[in-house]
Structure 1
Amino acid sequence: MSPSTITSPTAVDVHHDNGFHRKRSVKSNYAKPAPVPVIDLRGNTSQSNTDDNLKASIIKGLSTKNVEYHFGPQGPTLVRSVPTMVLYDDKGLEIFDKITYVEEYYLTEAEIDVLHSHAVDCVSRVAGNGSIFVELGCGAMRKTKHILQAIESLGLKNVTYYAVDLSEASLRDSLSPLADAFPTIQFVGLLGCYEDSIQYISTTIPATTSKTYLWLGSSIGNLNRQEAASFLRQICDKGMNVGDTFLCGIDRRNAPELVGAAYNDSQNVTRDFIMNGLDHVNTIFRANVFDRSAFEYLSIYNAVEGRHEAYYRSLKDQTISAPGHNQISLTKDEILNVEYSYKYSKEEVDELVEQAQFYNVGKYTDRRQMYDLHLFQKPPFFFKKSNETLTILPSMEEWGQMWKAWDHITTTMIPASERLTRPIALRHPFIFYLGHIPAFLDIQLARAEKAPLTSPQSFARIFERGIDPDLDDPSVCNPHSEVPDQWPEAEEIMEYQGRVRERLRKVMDDVAQGKDVGKRLKRALWMCYEHEGMHLETLLYMLVQCSTAVPPKGILAPIPNQFPSTKLADMIRVAHPQNVKTGINDQEYLDHEPTAALPVTFGWDVEKPARELPAGKPYEIQSRTVTIGEYIQFLDSEKDGWREETGLLPASWAPLPSSSTAQKGFLTTGLSTYGVKTVFGILPLSDFMTAPVSVSYNQAHKYATTRGMRLPTETELREFRSHGKHQPRNYGFASMVALGSSDIDSDKPVIDEGLWEWTSTVLNRSEEDGYVKSEVYPGYSSDFFDGKHNVVLGASWATIPRISERESFTNWYQRGYPYVFAGFRLARDL
């Protein structure tokens, strides 16, 4: 690496509210800063943008037809290509800067609008003293100064800003004036490609330093969706530590005519930018590979793929060649692809985040709702979605993520002084659950292996099963473990947990090596994994009721929705209800039959066997769940609705701390003084008006009857869910709160909005419908066939994917139990 320095001009680019930009002199009370170092990283990785690498990419693209073109008369065909990188030489960057001032190119102004309005909020979330920012492809940094102004206005100290660019001239022209304008911030230029800079940051910045990557201008659109996800995953894995953040500008799938004009402007600046790429190829090879006059720019918007496509079109039959390479013949009208600019729907962003294994904090949007800045974060744990790729047994990787989640929640969110706290009087204190998970696992492994329990064996007696009192008479309780006069010390429980986990690892090693451990032991492995996932959710709904709980370390609170929908939920008519298939075939007694094959999936006794639920009368059902805003209207309409003693106020709400009770422009007293209980503390109701409301069955039933409707039956909700594959599907810790469907068209079926859903069906199974009590866990469901528990379906944000994605999974709670993450939608007979 060879550092260089640059001088400091006295002009800085400033954005004005009228949308125009100009240079102005900067006056500062600080001494003139030292020259800004620029570190040359080129050639440090195999992806570096060296001339040799570019030459190889150019020849490969011209020699083979490997890019799909969808607009020919004969359907999709393969065409040649030129690497997009050729567009970004010094002259290309200069022309691109001109593009950002073109009126039709809405992306720049939209992003500036977002930053102008939200940079301070964003920086306050992601940075503190000593933080660093790394901007990938910084360009002229007209937009970046909003981030820098936010850093300055927040009074942050010792912040370092790293600017990454392919052009040394661009770095020289941009960094010095910014260093002059923001003398409290340290600036460093990184000359090279993205991969060069990621390697440099990962090897030189301490792991304890907070990092925020900036990727602005919708540059992500230059990669296809798979490449984009792979690149973000690479940064997440190699360049970030838990809690680090990534601010990414992403253009939406806007109207085709709008996108088309943005990339084919009336001043032909974009055309000049694309055509300059041919000149750059000639410069790289130091030969006249392309005759620029023999080509034209072809601009196409592919609405199906959601991308703009840029091509060179040959104006005649011609031959091109590069020194040392074979000649390539081009026919008249043959096209060469040079650039894609992908646009993203919400579903495509969700998929991007999933593949990159990021946590999606939320987004900031411009006032015209055309463009978003998404804030991603590297989470402390990550549960992969889509059970299509899962085996019948949880892998050791899945167990590893489960343990990361369990340990993160139990060690960072529960203060040591609160382990004996009972935030819900109907539940044991936190410390019981610390011992219950390893004890349950150890008991099941010991039984399946016909081996002794792990020491201390007394823990099995104390921690085997928790309490579940009757809400009407708490003295009535299901069978449970002995409650000790004094709970064991947490440190002793943690040591026990470690020994039980090691026991599991040995079993998993045997499974990985292909040893026949037996079907009953495999069932135990599956059951204990899902059992731990269920209690992970239990711990979290207990924690939101605990005023002393600590927010999860390394996970940011969500960004409130700027433009919540006010559209009412549509009623979806089901004039001809169908029988609904549900359940799975998984007979436990076959575990003892050596020749019997494993089932397709294991399941709990209440899921079995596969069966049909008979159709009922014609009905209609809401397209989405009832929101907090709608429930607020209900409380306002009820006499004393906001008074706790009425039983209508959700246990998921609480009065805001006195410092947060500003009216915020709302007239309703309850709205201005109450908030939603979350793992991040009590957040204002006004930030969650379109989020689903979490209530007890009794509260949901009262709301429904007041509206002249009812809750759907299990059969109706299962039928609805079979068609409700639309996003958001917020489960598996995709978010740490229930956010709902605020930016989804409400006429589409929406499921899994972050809460389980109540049904009007009472939990009850019998031999008549094939139910057989579990051998492995006899009390799993049968203890609750008491007429007081109702079926809930779906998942919450805290439900692990293995449970969320198994449509046969059946959950239940007492009708008056107010603490679970459960919402509801309305139905009525036709």
Structure 2
Amino acid sequence: MSPIATSNVEIVDIRGTNLQSSLSQDIYHGLQAAEKSLPTLLLYDTKGLRLFEDITYLDEYYLTNAEIKVLEANAAKIAALVPENCQLVELGSGNLRKIEILLNELERAKKSVEYYALDLSLEELHRTFAELPSKSYRYVKCRGFWGTYDDGLNWLNNPMNRKKATWVMSLGSSMGNFSPVEAAGFLRGFARSLGPADSMVIAFDPCKDPERVFRAYNDKKGVTRQFYLNGLSNANAILGFEAFKSGEWDAIGEFDQTLGCHKAYYVPLADTVINNIHIKKGEKIFFEQAFKYAADDCEKLWRDAGLHPTRKFGDDYTCLCPAADIHILSSATPNMNPYQLPTKRTEYVKDVIPTLQDFEAAWALWDTVTTSMVPPTDLLSRPIHLRNSLIFYLGHIPAFMDRHLARATGGAPTEPAEFHSMFERGIDPDVDNPDHCHDHSAIPDEWPSVETLVEYQGQVRTRARSIYFNGQAGDRKVAEALWISFEHETMHLETFLYMLLQHNSTMPPPLVAKPDFKQLAFDSAKTAVPNEWFEIPEQTVEIGLDDPGSDEIPSTSFGWDNEIPRRTAHVPSFMAKARPITNGEYAKYLEECGTEQLPASWVEKSTQNGSQNVMANGERVEVSFLPPTIMLWKPINMAIRTSANGSEKQNHDTNYQPVQNPFNLDKSVYVDLDDCNVGFAHWHPTSVTQNGNKLSGQGNFGGLWEWTSSTLEAHDGFKPMDLYPAYTGRLNLSDSKQRRS
């Protein structure tokens, strides 16, 4: 790796392989294949790069101008996201027209950054940097990298080069030259190189208008054709002889509407032979493709590549046929995302007993939520005034586990033993009558310190780990104690989160990029369909689990006492909307009803003249610690209230969605949840407005608990569980206010 002197900037040779030799082999391999092809890189010699620059100024070639407009409109916003002392590495820098817009904005903002332009052509690096006003920059430092994409990735993977936050950039929609599978594989390598402070910036062309795309690659002046045929001249130079004779070849383009892709081919005008390889007249030799990536294509690509979208800038707000999207992404690869849990049933339930790895993942999440998302001084606060302070749960979770492990193993409580009684049960009173409350632990005059509780928690976790190490987990009592402790902790993880939702000082989880709520709201409005009615037919369903007995571990799953035993239930026919109602829909309903009672997670906006109602314009909703207005698409989360006059008769069209006989369905207790907002795939509810034409199923509620209106009451065969009789024993099962979830 050696620097090359230039009058303007330093250019570093990072090439790791002989590109000419590699391309020579690729040419012959491609011509010998059943479906002949030539490397796309042949297009980008020095002359080819200049011809391509000419293409970017053509009227038909909409991509560059569209991208420039997006950059000009959003450069200040993008620059604000770039960390101080960041290094920007651009893959395939070209003539620097687009990146110059951002560099100028960074300079104007006095943000110190280092910009590295990676390109195949040393000559072009010299030329383009000579035209860039880098000498006038005080805060932006420029350097060039001479090499390929692979060379750039190798440079990024060297820890010596990663002492600063890094943004890897690909402008110019060049990622479209890869098929979706190829693009995912290519981007996955860069995603794995990203650290918590790093990002990728990728530009894509979302336009799939066949005529517009075809004209962009088949211009009237024939500049693109010259660019393509120059690739054959470059191939001749690499091979050392005139394999592709001038005047005997042509280049043609086709738009594949099914794939959303423009493809280009070389075709010989007569039968020809190259190094004993026979090519027939008119036989197409593929050499370039340009895939167009709409929103759904990008979503799949991000998942496949291990990337997490954080922001998007585009012209789709004003343009009927968007032609440029600039995406900012962070890594979502397993080693960089410590939160997201598996969604396949074969992965998230490997055994009846939670594995130690399951516990470690749950503990990492619990620690993040309880120690990183709320200031330590706020743990004494009570976001929900009828419940305990937040700090109670720091003691409740380990005390619950320790109580059950001690009972199952016949061991002594972990010290301090009094934590068992202090943190045994929380407060969960009747909302309408807070004096009506089950037995609960007495609230101490002073809670133990956070440090004491964290130390106690560590001791209990060590106790749990030792059970796995010494083989005790195979005992029925111990296995059930581990199971109930795991379920209890994960359920209270959600308890803690919805308490934080109503807390004023909640902080975002570390390493999670702030979502672009405006874009999410825009996308939701764009894809929304009417929320239709569906009739669910009368049927008999099988629910619950059977427990084999006190000494045997069940083959499927342990269960809470309200889940045992297995039984059937007759469900009469009923009507249901396809999806949950949203904040926006509920706000409109409240306005029409003239009520001032708001859901607890909504806040009123104070003004100089007093309080401004959140429904002032019929649609405005402000949700605590989330941006205003733009959460209208979010499914509403509120407590169930019974009402004598709550029914509403409407005239509506009814859909009939086929319902399988439940006795013919897979009897597994667990299901795959790959496309659902579960397992911390997102830290916010996701839109449901696009699902109004299909009935929601398991996990399709945008990330909310799927509460039902089913009353929690004793059923045939019910008895309180021996392991934890207080679970339903603390409830009044004749109280119709208790609901299942």
Aligned twin of 1:592: 551
Aligned twin of 1:38: 11
Q: Which moved more, 1:534-543 or 1:759-768?
A: 759-768
Q: Residue 734 of structure 1: which of 661, 664, 681 is its match?
A: 681
Aligned twin of 2:623: 676
Give the partner amino acid of 1:761. Answer: S
Aligned twin of 1:72: none
Aligned twin of 2:600: 651
**Change in 2 beyond 3 A, CA 1:387/1:667:** closer
Q: Residue 23 of structure 2: which of 54, 60, 63 is its match?
A: 54
Shift of 1:354: 3.0
Give the partner amino acid of 1:353. Answer: W
Aligned twin of 1:276: 230
**Change in 2 beyond 3 A, CA 1:593/1:632:** closer
Aligned twin of 1:28: none
Shift of 1:415: 1.1
Partner of 2:299, secondary structure, is helix
Aligned twin of 1:10: none
Are residue 412 (structure 1) and residue 372 (structure 2) matched? yes
Aligned twin of 1:11: none
Aligned twin of 1:142: 97
Are residue 152 (structure 1) and residue 107 (structure 2) matched? yes
CA deviations over 1:180-232 (Å, ceiling 9, x no partner)? 46443111222223343344345467867333222223333233334433333
Q: Normalising by the residue count of structure 2, what TM-score does the alignment of the two structures yield?
A: 0.82
CA deviations over 1:380-431 (Å, ceiling 9, x no partner)? 5341453155142466665554343333332322112112111112222222
Q: Residue 215 of structure 1: which of 153, 161, 170 is its match?
A: 170
- RMSD of aligned Cα (Å): 4.2
CA distance in 1, matches of 2:136, 2:649: 59
Q: Residue 329 of structure 2: which of 359, 376, 390 is its match?
A: 376
CA distance in 2, matches of 1:242, 1:137: 24
8 Å contact from structure 1 (residues 380, 408) kept in 2 = no
8 Å contact from structure 1 (residues 360, 735) kept in 2 = no
Q: Please show how residues 557-706 of structure 1 align to structure 2 within 5 Å.
A: 557-562=514-519, 563=522, 565=525, 569-574=529-534, 577=537, 579=539, 583=543, 585=545, 587-589=546-548, 592-593=551-552, 598-599=555-556, 606=562, 614=570, 616-617=572-573, 619=575, 621=577, 623-639=578-594, 641=595, 646-647=596-597, 649-656=598-605, 668=616, 675-677=622-624, 681-685=625-629, 687-698=630-641
Q: Identity of paired residues, percent?
A: 32
CA distance in 2, matches of 1:237, 1:178: 34
**Change in 2 beyond 3 A, CA 1:41/1:487:** same
8 Å contact from structure 1 (residues 571, 620) kept in 2 = no
CA distance in 1, matches of 2:18, 2:730: 66
Q: Which moved more, 1:611-620 or 1:187-196?
A: 611-620
**Change in 2 beyond 3 A, CA 1:546/1:254:** same
Partner of 2:4, secondary structure, is strand
Give the partner amino acid of 1:80. Answer: K
Aligned twin of 1:761: 709
CA distance in 2, matches of 1:215, 1:380: 23
CA deviations over 1:75-120 (Å, ceiling 9, x no partner)? xxxx233333333333333233333333343333332232222232
Give ranges in structure 1 of 5+ residues lacking alignment.
8-34, 66-78, 322-326, 792-810, 812-830
CA deviations over 1:34-58 (Å, ceiling 9, x no partner)? x322221110xxxx57334434444
CA distance in 2, matches of 1:704, 1:213: 55
Q: Residue 43 of structure 2: which of 78, 87, 91 is its match?
A: 87
CA deviations over 1:350-384 (Å, ceiling 9, x no partner)? 33333444332242221325242222224653414
Give the partner amino acid of 1:737. Answer: H
**Change in 2 beyond 3 A, CA 1:567/1:317:** closer
**Change in 2 beyond 3 A, CA 1:61/1:442:** farther
**Change in 2 beyond 3 A, CA 1:501/1:726:** closer
Q: Residue 123 of structure 2: which of 169, 172, 184 is its match?
A: 169
CA distance in 1, matches of 2:327, 2:470: 43
CA distance in 1, matches of 2:645, 2:74: 37
Shift of 1:444: 4.4
Aligned twin of 1:69: none
Shift of 1:521: 4.9
Are residue 130 (structure 1) and residue 73 (structure 2) matched? no
Partner of 2:456, secondary structure, is helix
CA distance in 1, matches of 2:499, 2:484: 22
Aligned twin of 1:12: none
CA distance in 2, matches of 1:403, 1:698: 34
Q: Please show how residues 141-540 of structure 1 align to structure 2 within 5 Å.
A: 141-153=96-108, 155-176=109-130, 177-180=132-135, 182-203=137-158, 209-238=164-193, 240-252=194-206, 254-291=208-245, 293-321=247-275, 327-366=276-315, 367-368=318-319, 370=322, 371-378=324-331, 381-390=338-347, 391-393=349-351, 399-447=359-407, 449=409, 451-481=411-441, 483-506=443-466, 517-518=474-475, 521=478, 525=482, 527-540=484-497
CA distance in 2, matches of 1:478, 1:247: 54
Q: Normalising by the residue count of structure 1, what TM-score does the alignment of the two structures yield?
A: 0.74
**Change in 2 beyond 3 A, CA 1:568/1:244:** closer
Question: Aligned residues, how many?
Answer: 710
**Change in 2 beyond 3 A, CA 1:499/1:175:** farther
CA distance in 2, matches of 1:291, 1:662: 79
Give the partner amino acid of 1:423. Answer: P
Give the partner amino acid of 2:277. Answer: I
CA distance in 2, matches of 1:611, 1:495: 44
Shift of 1:737: 2.6
Partner of 1:354, secondary structure, is helix
8 Å contact from structure 2 (residues 107, 138) kept in 1 = no
**Change in 2 beyond 3 A, CA 1:604/1:141:** farther
8 Å contact from structure 1 (residues 82, 336) kept in 2 = yes
Give the partner amino acid of 1:684. Answer: P
8 Å contact from structure 1 (residues 656, 682) kept in 2 = no
**Change in 2 beyond 3 A, CA 1:101/1:425:** same
